[in-house]
Amino acid sequence: MLQAYACDPRHSRGRRYPQDPAPTRDEFQRDRDRIVHCTAFRRLVYKTQVFLNHEGDLFRTRLTHSLEVAQLGRSIARELGLNEDLVEAIALAHDLGHTPFGHAGQDQLNECLRAAHPPHAGFEHNLQSLRVVDTLEERYPDHDGLNLCFETREGILKHCSRRRAEQLLKREPGGVGLRFVNGTQPSLEAQLCNLADEIAYNAHDIDDGVRSGLLTLQQLDGVVLFASCRDEALAEFPRLGGRRLLFDAIRRMLSYQVHDLIAATRAALEAAAPASPQAVRALPPLVRFSSAMQAQNAQLKGFLLRQLYRHPQVVETTNRARQVVADLYAVYSAEPASLPQTVARHARPHRAIADYIAGMTDRFALREHQRLTGETLFP
Ligand code: MG
């Protein structure tokens, strides 16, 4: 049952290229299906979340991460009376613009574009996700992109600088860039996806961190959210240890965060009583954790940053991944003949090269790198 504050597909702000309604699906279900069937979605399976794709078969990839975000998002949306299909569509698309090798790839590509002659605006994965669904997917005879609804695109563009937002507004007056200029919020479904993303990666990065051997259960003693869940698991199953203890603690962590988010958001919704999705956009963010959970999350994030994302072994891999992206960009810029013809002939070659590299999977980027430089940076 949709609440009055939920996005209703019958009142969508619509698509750039108007289309007749589908006989069996509403507009947000249709968007979700377009995303699942697009090329960029299938590439997510070979893209890094934290650990590189070839480092192990069981680490999260961008695809399994996106599925976890969709699962968490849908569960919470159902409880709050939000639109589950819209949440699912946004969650499945939220990382489509990620480069190979995770944030390392993005940062390097950004540097390459900024150093280009003439200097280019740079690279940012949220904007790239929007660019994938608006422009880069080639699936329809009469237009570029997936022609998604405004509400789905609004959720995909999670962050955007004011300068970029102003550029977007020139092309799309009153469009998805507007809220970054006038300081308003997106739909509750979009707000929810942001926090479901956080819940998902905080939990699975602990799992992957321990699996990789870079984190130990002892180190996690100091992380309040994890330690309290582990103690609870041990109180119920005193002889529990190893992976089952880890999983049980993570499972409890996920539940606590989900239940906390639902309770805090419900209270905020009751207090603000927005009568429509449009009213939601004019209010402060309503999808939220309690302040106690926010503090625990912040502590966990700080721990992951110091102990995992900045672990010397992760940093070393990151540096080599950046080298791959930098080399690809340099070779493609200097020798357009090494590019596919459609990329080489593009009117804006730097942007086309960035789009081409951003679209690569980890392993395709490594193969291209080896082909073009003769070097093997990841034996
Ligand atoms: Mg994500």
For residue 173, how far is its CA from the centre of ligand 1 (angstroms)? 28
Alpha-carbon distance of 156 to 276, in angstroms, equals 21
Fold designation for 26-313: Hypothetical protein af1432 (1.10.3210)
pLDDT digits (tens, 9 = 90+) for 236-259: 999 999 999 999 999 999 999 999
pLDDT tens column, 120-160: 888 999 999 999 999 999 999 999 999 999 999 999 999 99
What's the CA-to-centroid distance between 94 and ligand 1, angstroms?
6
Mean pLDDT, rounded, for 278-307: 97
- Give distance in angstroms: CA of 124 to centre of ligand 1: 14
What spacing in Å lies between the alpha carbon of 338 and ligand 1's midpoint?
32
- For residue 58, the model assigns a pLDDT of 79
Find the length of the chain: 379
Contact 49, 61 (CB under 8 A): yes
pLDDT at 56 over 80: no
Q: Are 177 and 168 in contact (CB under 8 A)?
A: yes
Dist. CA 156 → ligand 1 center (Å): 11
Nearest to 86 by CA among 187, 3, 5: 187
Please tell me the distance between residue 275's alpha carbon and the centre of ligand 1 in angstroms. 30
Distance CA 225, CA 279 (A): 34
Helix (H, G, I), strand (E, B) or coil at 48: strand
Structure token digits, residue 15? 């698509």
Give the Å distance between the CA of 44 and the centre of ligand 1. 11
Residues within 5 Å of ion ligand 1, judged at the Cβ atom: 95, 197
**Radius of gyration, alpha carbons of the chain:** 21
CA of 375 to the centre of ligand 1 (A): 31
Q: What does 58-103 look like in DSSP terms, one character per residue?
A: SS-BHHHHHHHHHHHHHHHHHHHT--HHHHHHHHHHTTTTPPTTHH
The number of CA neighbours under 13 Å toward the Cβ of 110 is 15
**201 CA distance to ligand 1 middle (Å):** 7
Taking residues 4-15, report their average pLDDT.
97
Measured at the CA of 97, the angle between CA 341 and CA 350, to 5 degrees, comes to 40
SS3 166: helix
Give this prediction's pTM: 0.96
Task: Provide the token pair at 275.
Answer: 């009568």
- Residues 6+ positions from 253 with CB-CB distance below 8 Å: 202, 203, 206, 225, 226, 229
Summarised one tens digit per residue, pLDDT across range 311-365 is 999 999 999 999 999 999 999 999 999 999 989 898 888 999 999 999 999 999 9
Please report, for the chain, the start and end positions of each structural domain, with discontinuous segments joined by +.
26-313, 320-373
CB-count burial class (<10 Å; 0-12, 13-18, 19+) for 60: buried
